[in-house]
Amino acid sequence: MENRSVQRRLAAILAADVVGYSRLMSSDEMGTLTALKAHRRELIDPAIAAHHGRIVKTTGDGALVEFASVVDAVGCAVAIQRGMLSRNVSVADDKRIVFRIGINVGDIIIDGDDIFGDGVNIAARLETLCEPGGVCISRAANDQIRDKLSLAFADLGEQTVKNISRAVGVFGLALKDIEALPEPDVQQFAADVPPVEKPPAAARYEQEIQFCMTPDGVQLAYARIGSGPPLVKTGNWMTHLEFDFESPIWRGLFRELSRDRTLVRYDARGNGLSDRDVEDVSQELFVSDLESVVDAAGLERFALLGISQGCAVSIAYAVRHPERVSHLVLVGGYPVGWAKRARTAAEKEQGQAMLTLMRLGWGQENPTFRQLFTSQFIPGGTKEQADWFNELQRISTSPEDAVRCLLAIGDADVSALLGQVSVPTLVMHARDDARVPFDQGRRLAAGIPGARFVPLASRNHLILEDEPAFPRFVQEIRAFLST
């Protein structure tokens, strides 16, 4: 076992969660997730940064944040709760997102990026004692902010809390007290919170969702964002037009690509907002779906972006309609699907086992099985990104549709079409891709006449906006499309 010294330090810990999160998700899953991500992006994260906090971890409905100063921690909490009051004004009572926040100051144990100890546990217990929209702090925290902040926390007495041997002195600031704070007092907490920067009008991140019908009667959802020359992202497995739009997996790429282009995306059959429970799923139908979307969108000539499974579909379309494709960008792709690449009996057996597990475990609330896929697609992702991708899998497609799509993907084979690609092509692939072997990207580039191949320094099948490879990834796409 590795020996390492335990690091300790004194810190202020803020624990927060959403009141009635399960009820909100049950009532309106997508609406709740979208609203929560907007609150984080526009209020909570800026408030934490302005008060010099560090987000230690996030869960679906909460967060744990470390501050060097308890004054900063309390100031951040009040700024968030005050901000949520105005953000909830026009929201129906049963749809409002309301936080409880607990704060403690004490000794913590540091393990990598994570923290542990009674100092952390007490903050979490204080949050559960807090009334909706309010803030609860420990006696130790209250002693430190006295005479430093013009706030009057009510003494709620000594409380016995779970897994803490001693009683904890609790002080509370109710929602009505925060709402009644005079404006000069509010400014001491909110003045340092930077305003949300809005993108220029030409680059507003607002998407327009529409629907079209395929020749075999399947309804597909597609979306536009941005302005300029059209760029079409081919539909692939596990997408959801709304959920992806706010996801830390995809939003950075979508925003970059739509800065100077009209980005058109769609949910493939059996995924997202497109028709679910579709019995007929095949490589040929995926190509036909792309034809239906670009025709419905009124696009005559456009650049085409394929990611993962979308590469094979994009290649087939470009060979079939070379006059309509100006540029072809292929990321993390392969000429031959996983089932046809399997050579040994063990590889084939592993594929069948995965299909069986998918039928049984995909739709469960517990993401244990889906985490297997997450660890292949984004092994270098943060906990927040992994949580998002776990949830994306469950939301984007049913177990039955997931199996049909994976079977169709496994049977894909465009190796005979590579030499027929006649449009300018850029191929990119992560060197240590954990989902699709790097060699598959090389085979694509080698088989397409004149294709440019760019290796990316990453383990992730999906390149994430916060990793070093992302700037080059976007730069290469932008430079290639400008030629």
Q: What is the 3-state secondary structure (H, E, C) of the chain?
A: CCCCCCEEEEEEEEEEEECCHHHHHHHCHHHHHHHHHHHHHHHHHHHHHHCCCEEEEECCCEEEEEECCHHHHHHHHHHHHHHHHHHCCCCCHHHCCCEEEEEEEEEEEEECCEEECHHHHHHHHHHHHCCCCCEEEEHHHHHHHCCCCCCCCEEEEEECCCCCCCCEEEEEECHHHHHCCCHHHHHHHHCCCCCCCCCCHHHCCCCEEEEEECCCCCEEEEEEECCCCEEEECCCCCCCHHHHHHCCCCHHHHHHHCCCCEEEEECCCCCCCCCCCCCCCCHHHHHHHHHHHHHHCCCCCEEEEEECHHHHHHHHHHHHCHHHEEEEEEECCCCECHHHHCCCHHHHHHHHHHHHHHHHHCCCCCCCCHHHHHHHHCCCCCHHHHHHHHHHHHHHCCHHHHHHHHHHHHCCECHHHHHHCCCCEEEEEECCCCCCCHHHHHHHHHHCCCCEEEEECCCCCCCCCCCCHHHHHHHHHHHHHCC
- Beta bridge partners of residue 128, listed in sequence order: none
Find out whether 32 and 88 touch, Cβ atoms under 8 Å.
no
CA atoms of 2 and 14, how far apart (whole Å) = 31
Dihedral over Cα of 347, 348, 352, 358: its sign: positive
How far apart CA 84 and CA 145 sit, in angstroms, is 23
Q: Is 9 left (phi over 0), alpha (psi -120 to 50) or beta?
A: beta
CA–CA distance, 287 with 354 (Å, rounded to integer): 26
Q: Contacts by 147-152 with C-beta closer than 8 Å and gap 24+?
A: 148/71, 149/71, 149/74, 149/75, 149/188, 150/185, 150/188, 151/74, 151/78, 151/185, 152/177
Spatial separation of the C-alpha atoms in residues 290 and 275, rounded to whole Å? 15
Q: Which amino acid is at 12?
A: A
Q: Tell me the two tokens of residue 400.
A: 């039955």
pLDDT (tens, 9 = 90+) of the chain, 483 residues, equals 344 455 777 889 999 999 999 899 888 888 888 889 889 888 998 899 888 888 888 777 888 999 988 999 999 999 999 999 989 988 888 899 999 999 999 878 877 667 788 888 889 889 989 999 999 999 989 988 877 787 889 999 988 766 666 778 999 999 998 888 875 455 555 544 444 444 444 345 678 899 999 999 999 999 999 999 999 999 998 899 988 888 889 988 999 999 889 999 999 999 999 998 898 999 999 999 999 999 999 999 999 999 999 999 999 999 999 999 999 999 999 999 988 886 788 877 877 877 887 787 776 666 677 777 788 899 998 888 888 888 888 888 888 888 998 899 989 999 999 999 999 999 999 999 989 999 999 999 999 999 999 999 999 999 998 898 999 999 999 999 998
Neighbours of 34 (CB within 10 A): 15
Calpha distance 483→479 (Å, rounded):
7
* pTM for the predicted model, two decimal places: 0.61
Provide the greatest CA pair distance for the chain.
77
Which of 274, 253, 264 minimizes the C-alpha distance to 224? 264
The pLDDT tens digits for 198-243 are: 444 434 567 889 999 999 999 999 999 999 999 999 999 889 998 8
**What is the separation, in whole angstroms, between the first and last Cα of the chain?**
55
Q: Which bin fits 304, alpha (ψ -120 to 50), beta or left (φ > 0)?
A: beta
In angstroms, the CA 347 to CA 422 distance is 34
Taking the C-alpha atoms of residue 172 and residue 374, their distance in angstroms, rounded to an integer, is 40
Q: What is the mean pLDDT of the chain?
A: 87
Q: What are phi and psi of 198, to 5 degrees?
A: -95, 140
Q: Is 87 exposed, middle or buried (0-12, 13-18, 19+ CB in 10 A)?
A: middle
Query: Residue 161: which residues within 8 A CB-CB, separation 6 or more?
Result: 122, 125, 126, 129, 168
Chain position carrying tokens 């609860």 = 136
What gap in Å lies between CA 412 and CA 117, rounded to an integer? 51
- Which pLDDT does position 182 carry in this prediction? 72
Closest C-alpha among 238, 290, 275 to residue 402: 238
